[in-house]
Amino acid sequence: MDRSDPDIKSEKRGGLGLLTLDRPAALNALTHGMISALAAQLSLWAVDDAIKCVAIRGAGDRAFCAGGDIRSVQQSVVAGTDEGPRLLHDEYRLNALIAAYPKPYIALLHGITMGGGAGVSVHGRARLGDASLNFAMPETAIGFIPDVGSSYFLSRCPGEIGLYLALTGSPIGLVDARDAGLVTHAVNREDFDAVLDGLANGNVAEAIKPYVRKVQPGALAPHLSRIETIFSAGSVEAILERLGRDGSTFARETAQVIRARSPTSVKIVFRQLREAAHLDLRQCLSMEYRLATRILRGHDFREGVRAALVDKDRNPKWQPASLAAVGDIAGFFAPLGDAELF
């Protein structure tokens, strides 16, 4: 079976296998075909002795990868097909493949890097980001959950920054992403080609080291202590209560964002990240697949995508509309039996 895709470019440069997400008009958002092509090429290079390391980058100036093609997933749900769950199934298995890859895997990040873009980068050994980086896991805004293994890496961010990012979906820049452990090195984008040349000719550390630059504290730095205190609370409701008591502009704006998100999603995400702290990556991906396949069938996902990407009125009508009205969420976490991811 041909598992190539026109939006994935692959090439060999000496000992480097270079992958390019080449769908810039769509901010390099991942289609099912792209996911399959990435998995196929990585599997081939894993057993190719000539390939010593792999790098991935995004074409165009605006984005590394804006995420998965979530609109096509929503359309499949509306049409009653199983394409949405199948795409997620293959995407999550790709994330696991990257995390366990037997050779160094390096991501070169610029611009918008969200959702599925995090899944094909953060699990790699090195993540180089430039100053244009705009990183987010914005899924609660569309009635979904942070997935692609993000419950694993967000739950391991310092303090409570991961839960803050997961609940709010707020974007962060290069320095905050580096301080959270999501990016490993700050490198100017104009130096990316030189890094690739080094990767083709030498080892990873030597290829990257000359181009790492120093950066100033990020925008979240003044709020990290506040985030840790507030987001260590035992529930979403308690977090909102602490935000209210704090009274700062940051706290008020953060509470406003959380209250605008899908109540069902934020309740699920809180439990998701708390459980993920005690799970390995494959277990986190399995949990996310259980959650995702069930959430796809619900009202809030269809409504969230409609409001954000279809009608673009930015005014989703969540059901239920309040945290207090969200019922027992335990069923979302139940095993899928024969339909499990792994």
Question: Catalytic residue at 116?
Answer: yes
Instruction: Report the C-alpha gap between 146 and 135 in whole angstroms.
Output: 13
Rounded to 10 deg, the angle between the 83-99 and 32-46 helix axes is: 30
DSSP summary character for residue 31: P
Q: Which of 69, 130, 147, 288 is catalytic?
A: 147
What residue type is 212 in one-letter code?
Answer: V
Among candidate residues 17, 58, 67, 68, the one labeled active-site is 68
DSSP 189-249: GGGHHHHHHHHHHS-HHHHHGGGB---PPPTTGGGHHHHHHHHTSSSHHHHHHHHHHH--H
Q: Of 58, 115, 116, 298, which one is the catalytic site residue?
A: 116
Contacts of 83 by beta carbon, 8 Å cutoff, 6+ apart:
32, 72, 73, 76
User: Are residues 115 and 71 in contact, defined by beta-carbon separation less than 8 angstroms?
Assistant: no
What is the largest distance, in Å, between two alpha-carbon atoms of the chain? 59
CA distances (Å), 318 to each of 144, 184, 289, 325, 329, in order?
12, 37, 22, 11, 16
Query: What is the three-state SS of 170-198?
Result: CCECHHHHHHCCCCCEEECHHHHHHHHHH
129 is catalytic: no
Q: Computed from CA positions of residues 182, 303, 298, 93, in that sequence, does the dihedral angle turn out positive or negative?
A: negative
The whole-angstrom distance between residue 199's C-alpha and the CA centroid of its chain comes to 25
The three-point CA angle 283-287-4 to 5° equals 80
What is the number of residues in the chain? 342
Task: Evaluate whether 144 touches 115 at the Cβ level (below 8 Å).
Answer: no
300 is catalytic: no
Q: Which residues partner with 212 through β-bridges? A: 187
Active site residue 139: yes
> Pick the catalytic residue: 139, 176, 179, 303?
139
- Sorted by sequence, the CB contacts under 8 Å of residue 91 that are 6+ apart come out as 30, 35, 68, 116, 119, 148
Contact 98, 55 (CB under 8 A): no
Task: Give the catalytic positions in this structure.
Answer: 68, 116, 139, 147
